[in-house]
Chain A
Amino acid sequence: MDGKIGSVLVIGAGVAGIQASLDLAESGYHVNLVERRGNLMGAAANNCCKGVEECNRCMLCQVSEKAFQVITHPRITLFRHGEVVKVEGEPGHFSATIQRFPEMNERGCPICDKLPLYAVPLKSDPEEIQLDVAGVIMAIGFKLFDPSPLPEFGYGKYKDVVTAVEFERMIHERTGLFCSDGRIPRRIAFIQCVGSRDPKIGNPWCSAACCSFTLKEAIVAKEYVKDLEPTIFFMDQRPYGKDSERYLSRAKEQYGVKYIRSGVSKVEAAGDGKGLVVTYTSETGGVSTARFDMVGLSIGLECAVTAKKLSREFGIELNPYGFCWASPFSPLETSRQGFLVCGTFGGPNDMTESAMQASGAAADTLGILAKAKFDHVPQKSYPPERDTSGEAPKVGVFLCQCGDYIGKTVDVASLTQFASALPEVAYCDQRRYACSEEFRDEMKEAIKVHGLNRVVIGSCSFFTHGSLFQETLREAGLNPYLMEMVNLRDQCARVHSHDPEKATMKAKDLIRMEVAKARFLEPLYRLSKTMNPSALVVGGGITGMVSAISLAEKGFDVHLVEKTTQLGGHALRIQHTLEGGNVQAYLSDLIEKVKGFPKIHVHKNSELTAYQGRVGDYTSRVKTTSGEEREIKHGVTIIAAGGREYKPDEYLYGQDPRVMISVELEEEIDRRTERVAQSQTIAMIQCVGSRNEVRPYCSRLCCAKSVKNAISLKTLNPKMNVYILYRDMRTYGFRESYYQEAREKGVIFIRYDLDRMPEVKAVGDILRVTVHDIILGERMEIDADLLVLASAVLPPEDNHILSRILRVPLNEDGFFKEAYEKLSTVDFMQEGIFVAGMARSPISIVESIYQGKAAASRAMTLLSRESLLTDGIVSTVKESVCCGCKVCEALCPYGAIAVVPEENVAKVDELVCKGCGTCCGACPTGAAQLKGFKKEQMMAMVGAYLGA
């Protein structure tokens, strides 16, 4: 022991808090997760995944899945209805005081906050709890803007004016779309930026998440009401996230979502009392009105209600907007050491960024933690497993009344009788709470006394209780996979409460089916795969270096492979961040740090040429430009291959020396070149090479970059004419204030459309930019001294080679495609390989810093272990009938099954297989079968219900 504490405090159990907790717990630490409310998931709990064909990525499913993991994780202690009131001490040795609210209800399920979760007796806990923790992660989230004080929107006055979040909840709860009078709306308006980008009310920032959110609402609404006409009133379209641009075009083209660029001045009831009238001023200044059945206000994000109080109590600083202050190049560090911030507490964010920051914060916290030992849970010893192979099936059935939830509807007594009489059932019993400790003890006893070798439990969800009962079996000396569950509560009693008789009949069928399956259950074993505690990081830019440092700090070996002669990548050419941070200084610091770590082995001038193995045990080959090759063994891989600038072939770039791209201008500003200093007029064109047909994605960082350059120019020479020709200014989050600053400084913003692109001509000595000014409705000619193109970010040329070598996919744009957009954004479907930075999508420097940390954190959830355990449920191939047809091979999302040429049979790598069963459903010979779900088991269930 190094005397450090192996425990962390996470405040707030929203998306960020959940992700941070899971990362830390998976890395072997103990987490105390404190949440003020009774349920987890924060704002995401209201998301409504709805009855639409294609998933709209509200991510509720994934967040719920993670929430379940939190509840059942042995290394996470959840304090609900609680608040952290005091944290004293130093990083590594904090003492935190938690106060719990009296209405605390331990029994309520933290997901639904309704039904009981575990039958633990109500505890009369002390009011205050003291915890020793090494670090604190603040993920307290945000507050939604309340539009009531803004009379122009009629919120609170008209029932059919709702906030976007209420709209979401309405669909969630009513599974449909209705006006206040019950009618189905036909015309619906969404008004963007309510409570955002509005300095008048003190909210100058862009709330960053609402554009995409509303877009999704509009699409979903349209799915519900086919002839719906959704209209979105907006200033700039800012769905800037990865793949959002495609979503936006789909909304317009496929769903006919109408976009009106305008400012809304008021919402009123229509004269005839039917519906609402929206009055708006279009870009060109014309005032119009339109009629709607419903109006959704896309409200913004504000700092959390508790932000002030906590900042005072913990002594952490807030930024001028009331959000948490973070240091410029350590975007997750607060002003107090040992306190990390992630998610919307640090500023408006969407779920993607929140989750990445959460992982990043976890990585930062790992540095102050003790060495992972996985020993924060008392090590249990289990009796040796009984060998049941020779025994005839002897099934024990245990039934639960779940208080009254099952017992009220299903006649559990008669069900018990019924089950006892089933062939192979050797024992059956029932209790008020099957999950209570007493009953579980009795269960173990019964298993021993009656020699049971299969168990069927009729209670609640496998999701919540599966692991609990599997544990019980282990304690009784049985293999945990010899158990099946029937969800009598949620799949029977609760949904048939109006018909107890039929419910009981159904319950009998369900028990009979599960018993029929149970007799075919086999003991399954979790394999352990060794873990080589070292990582391969591909790419030596900021992202790669940050990842490498995080890993090395925790004592893992890192091989950092860089193509060029120099570390630093893309950032070598960038001088300042938008916020004014000195990038070069940061970069040399970072490079020094990398050099200072003996654990980081830098391979410059090198490329990855071969890669094989599986998580925990990879062998790669790296080749230098001079042809030297060496072999590297490692346990995980991080792709941080960066991106590259698009060299435009439009607008005379490369033909006229006065035309340059943004980085080039930045360099010239930095060097104070003559021609920049002499310029009277500089024009910039945005979206060069982005958001068009060839590259239908937003390069995301160019708007801020141009704003930054424009401000620098104006500071150098306030008289200079600076024009920015743009399509939408995407200065999301706090970047918005720089956009405002630029405007105040006199930068002229002129909007253009895709169908009327600016033109650039060299007329004699003059470089002439012609643009159709939409606002003035006329052609404008700008004679520029310099023309600056905000050119797109491209994926590195060799991404497709890397993708082939590493066997991970790219998206249509050539960037790496993560497991799930929005969440799990640095993970791939394949375990053990991660991606961060520009290799996955264009991002800013600050974003790549926390992404690099996020990837490291995810990697450390694996690296921290001595070995990894697989699940027992995997595919297996009966070699005597497999014909080697290869149908399975192309299907497996993990590459876990392949035909071995020498034997012409498929083999499953059980260490890689995740047990989805896709190959088994497809296998034409029935050779591939999913353990625990074999055909004979499925057939037995069907037969038990329908008769032989």
Chain B
Amino acid sequence: MGKLKFAIYWGAACGGCDVAVVDTHEKLLDIAAAADILFWPVALDFKYRDVEEMADKSIDVCLFSGAVRNSENEHIAKLLRQKSKVMVALGACAQLGGIPGLANEKRRQDILDFVYHGSPSTASQKGVYPQEITSVPEGKLKLPKFYDAVMTLDQVVEVDYYLPGCPPESARILEVVQAIVTGNLPPKGAVVGALDKALCDSCPRKREEKKVKVFYRPQEILFDPERCFLEQGLICLGPATRGGCSDPPRCIRSNMPCEGCYGPPPDVTDQGAKMLSAVSSIIDSQDPGQIEKIIDGIVDPLGTFYRFGLPASALRKKRFP
């Protein structure tokens, strides 16, 4: 068997996934020994043209991180799909929309307004917005089209595997790559590099009784570092999030509740819906007024329960009148 051919790309992403790839350290060299990297714009100098010229399915594996925010992301996603045998959605953004996906709570125009005018650090001329096509004396300048909504990778192309995480643990990336290299592949469509069980299963914290009278944010109280966050009124997405990031889970280990980046466990389609269901169910009150008050303590339910998964959720995006 010859060397495997890899492509690594980022769409709308922070680059954390690429860092995670680099973070495999010297192991990367082992990969390099087994594989050729044909395309990795963030690390090496490649041109889109190079890819366009490749034969279809000539890339063995494409690791695609980042969400699809604009026409460029979509174009390259489709291009890489066409050229690759196996398409892996790498990280929360590609799988679920990720943090960029939170923009789906905003109108496209509002985002542009804020970024080009509203933000304190911006001083642009009134009414000036990036145009898709700008004519200059030298010809026409083109910018990608900024879409109405952020999409997940599988909303534009077929995805073979999902490797969750924000970012995925380097060790998991390695394992998956190793599996690919050795041809040890699960059925298509599977989530790899994560467990079927939700995070609580591997969480070392003590669970006693889930009954909560007040919800806090981590900065608001001193909490017991040994006891389950949820039981102390801190919203932890552990119960509705796939485990497997690391053992013990890395956020929990650093005394932070799980934020849900590993996405929904296998039997859940809408992570936020499930999590809000569990969270509301542990409210310990039978007084409608008090229930209301306790719920008011959850300041931003959408941002909390869909932090990483808004574009992948059933409703995907806020509706505007």
Q: Cβ of B45 < 8 Å from any Cβ of A? A: no
Chain A residue at minimal CB-CB distance from B231: A886
Of A187-195, A283-291, A876-884, the segment with at least 4 beta carbons within 8 Å of chain B is: A876-884
From the candidates A890, A921, A927, name the one contacting B277 in the complex (CB within 8 A).
A921
Residues of B within 8 A of A889 (CB): 209-210
Q: Which of B182-200 contact A (CB under 8 A)?
A: 196-200
A881 x B198 contact (CB < 8 A)? yes
Interface centre among B201, B211, B288 (most CB of A within 10 A): B201
Residues of A within 8 A of B239 (CB): 883, 885, 887, 924-925
A899 x B201 contact (CB < 8 A)? no
From the candidates B207, B267, B277, name the one contacting A881 in the complex (CB within 8 A).
B267
A884 x B267 contact (CB < 8 A)? no
Residues of B within 8 A of A923 (CB): 274, 278
From the candidates B201, B211, B288, name the one contacting A883 in the complex (CB within 8 A).
B201
A924 x B267 contact (CB < 8 A)? no
A921 x B197 contact (CB < 8 A)? no
Q: Which of A34-75 contact B (CB under 8 A)?
A: 53
Q: Cβ of B263 < 8 Å from any Cβ of A? A: no
A925 x B210 contact (CB < 8 A)? no
B210 x A886 contact (CB < 8 A)? yes
Chain A residue at minimal CB-CB distance from B237: A924
Q: Cβ of A922 < 8 Å from any Cβ of B? A: yes
Q: How far is the CB of A881 from chain B (nearest CB, A)?
A: 5
Q: Cβ of B240 < 8 Å from any Cβ of A? A: yes
Chain B residue at minimal CB-CB distance from A878: B267
Q: Cβ of B233 < 8 Å from any Cβ of A? A: no
Q: Cβ of B91 < 8 Å from any Cβ of A? A: no
Write the B255-267 contact mask toward A (1 if CB under 8 angstroms, else 0): 0000000000111
Residues of A within 8 A of B288 (CB): 53
Given contacts A883-B243, A887-B281, contact A926 B268 (CB under 8 A): yes
B207 x A884 contact (CB < 8 A)? yes
Residues of A within 8 A of B268 (CB): 924-926
Residues of B within 8 A of A891 (CB): 281-282
Q: How far is the CA of A899 from the CA of B228 in the complex (A)?
A: 15
Q: Cβ of B275 < 8 Å from any Cβ of A? A: yes
Q: How far is the CA of A653 from the CA of B275 in the complex (A)?
A: 58
Q: Which of B216-240 contact A (CB under 8 A)?
A: 228, 230, 238-240
Residues of B within 8 A of A890 (CB): 209-211, 282
Residues of A within 8 A of B208 (CB): 886
Interface centre among B228, B243, B281 (most CB of A within 10 A): B281
A881 x B281 contact (CB < 8 A)? no
Residues of A within 8 A of B282 (CB): 887, 890-891, 922
Q: How far is the CB of B185 from chain A (nearest CB, A)?
A: 21
Q: Cβ of A175 < 8 Å from any Cβ of B? A: no
B265 x A926 contact (CB < 8 A)? yes
B277 x A883 contact (CB < 8 A)? no
Q: How far is the CA of A771 from the CA of B76 in the complex (A)?
A: 93
Interface centre among B199, B211, B268 (most CB of A within 10 A): B268
A927 x B267 contact (CB < 8 A)? yes
B278 x A887 contact (CB < 8 A)? yes
A924 x B274 contact (CB < 8 A)? yes
Q: How far is the CA of A891 from the CA of B279 in the complex (A)?
A: 12
A899 x B207 contact (CB < 8 A)? yes
Chain A residue at minimal CB-CB distance from B275: A924
From the candidates B209, B228, B274, name the one contacting A925 in the complex (CB within 8 A).
B274
Write the A755-767 contact mask toward B (1 if CB under 8 angstroms, else 0): 0000000000000
Per DSSP, chain A at the interface is: loop
From the candidates B211, B277, B278, name the one contacting A885 in the complex (CB within 8 A).
B278
Given contacts A887-B278, A924-B277, contact A880 B265 (CB under 8 A): no
Given contacts A889-B210, A922-B277, contact A884 B200 (CB under 8 A): yes
Residues of A within 8 A of B199 (CB): 883
Q: Cβ of A588 < 8 Å from any Cβ of B? A: no
Q: Cβ of A673 < 8 Å from any Cβ of B? A: no
Q: Cβ of A904 < 8 Å from any Cβ of B? A: yes
Q: How far is the CA of A885 from the CA of B252 in the complex (A)?
A: 14
A921 x B200 contact (CB < 8 A)? no
Chain A residue at minimal CB-CB distance from B201: A883
Q: How far is the CA of A488 from the CA of B278 in the complex (A)?
A: 35
Chain A residue at minimal CB-CB distance from B236: A885
Residues of A within 8 A of B228 (CB): 886
Q: How far is the CB of A804 from chain B (nearest CB, A)?
A: 14
Chain B residue at minimal CB-CB distance from A53: B288
Write the A465-479 contact mask toward B (1 if CB under 8 angstroms, else 0): 000000000000000
Q: How far is the CA of A878 from the CA of B243 in the complex (A)?
A: 17
Residues of A within 8 A of B278 (CB): 885, 887, 922-924
B267 x A883 contact (CB < 8 A)? no
Write the A883-904 contact mask toward B (1 if CB under 8 angstroms, else 0): 1111101110000000100001
A885 x B198 contact (CB < 8 A)? yes
Residues of A within 8 A of B211 (CB): 890
Q: How far is the CA of A514 from the CA of B156 in the complex (A)?
A: 34
A881 x B197 contact (CB < 8 A)? yes
Write the B280-310 contact mask toward A (1 if CB under 8 angstroms, else 0): 0110000010000000000000000000000
Residues of B within 8 A of A926 (CB): 265, 267-268, 274
B267 x A885 contact (CB < 8 A)? no
From the candidates A53, A921, A925, A935, name the one contacting B265 in the complex (CB within 8 A).
A925
From the candidates A53, A883, A918, A935, name the one contacting B197 in the complex (CB within 8 A).
A883
Q: How far is the CB of B186 from chain A (nearest CB, A)?
A: 15
Write the A224-255 contact mask toward B (1 if CB under 8 angstroms, else 0): 00000000000000000000000000000000
Residues of A within 8 A of B207 (CB): 884-886, 899
Q: How far is the CB of A242 from chain B (nearest CB, A)?
A: 18
Residues of B within 8 A of A885 (CB): 198, 200, 207, 210, 230, 238-239, 278
Residues of B within 8 A of A925 (CB): 197-198, 239-240, 265, 267-268, 274
Q: How far is the CA of A924 from the CA of B267 in the complex (A)?
A: 10
Q: Which of B5-22 contact A (CB under 8 A)?
A: none
Residues of B within 8 A of A887 (CB): 210, 239, 278, 281-282
Q: Which of A904-920 contact B (CB under 8 A)?
A: 904, 918
Q: How far is the CB of A887 from chain B (nearest CB, A)?
A: 5
B209 x A881 contact (CB < 8 A)? no
Q: How far is the CA of A881 from the CA of B199 in the complex (A)?
A: 10
Q: How far is the CA of A53 from the CA of B277 in the complex (A)?
A: 22
Q: How far is the CA of A351 from the CA of B313 in the complex (A)?
A: 51
Chain A residue at minimal CB-CB distance from B240: A924
Q: How far is the CB of A633 from chain B (nearest CB, A)?
A: 29
Interface centre among B265, B267, B275 (most CB of A within 10 A): B267
Q: How far is the CA of A830 from the CA of B230 in the complex (A)?
A: 28
Q: How far is the CA of A890 from the CA of B211 in the complex (A)?
A: 7
Residues of B within 8 A of A881 (CB): 196-198, 265-267
Q: How far is the CB of A831 from chain B (nearest CB, A)?
A: 22
Q: How far is the CA of A93 from the CA of B208 in the complex (A)?
A: 59
Residues of A within 8 A of B198 (CB): 881, 883, 885, 924-925
Chain A residue at minimal CB-CB distance from B199: A883
Chain A residue at minimal CB-CB distance from B207: A886
Q: How far is the CA of A921 from the CA of B276 in the complex (A)?
A: 11
Q: How far is the CB of B252 from chain A (nearest CB, A)?
A: 13
Q: How far is the CA of A889 from the CA of B281 in the complex (A)?
A: 11
Q: How far is the CA of A882 from the CA of B277 in the complex (A)?
A: 16
Q: How far is the CB of A241 from chain B (nearest CB, A)?
A: 21
Chain A residue at minimal CB-CB distance from B281: A922
A883 x B265 contact (CB < 8 A)? yes
26 contacts between A and B (CB under 8 A): A53-B288, A881-B198, A883-B201, A883-B238, A883-B243, A884-B200, A884-B207, A885-B239, A885-B278, A886-B207, A886-B209, A886-B228, A887-B281, A887-B282, A890-B210, A890-B211, A904-B201, A921-B277, A923-B278, A924-B277, A924-B278, A925-B197, A925-B240, A926-B274, A927-B267, A935-B267
Contacts A882-B197, A884-B200, A925-B239 known; 9 new A-B pairs at CB < 8 A: A880-B196, A881-B198, A881-B265, A883-B239, A886-B207, A887-B282, A889-B209, A899-B207, A926-B265
Closest 7 CB pairs of A and B: A922-B281, A926-B267, A883-B198, A924-B278, A924-B239, A885-B239, A924-B240
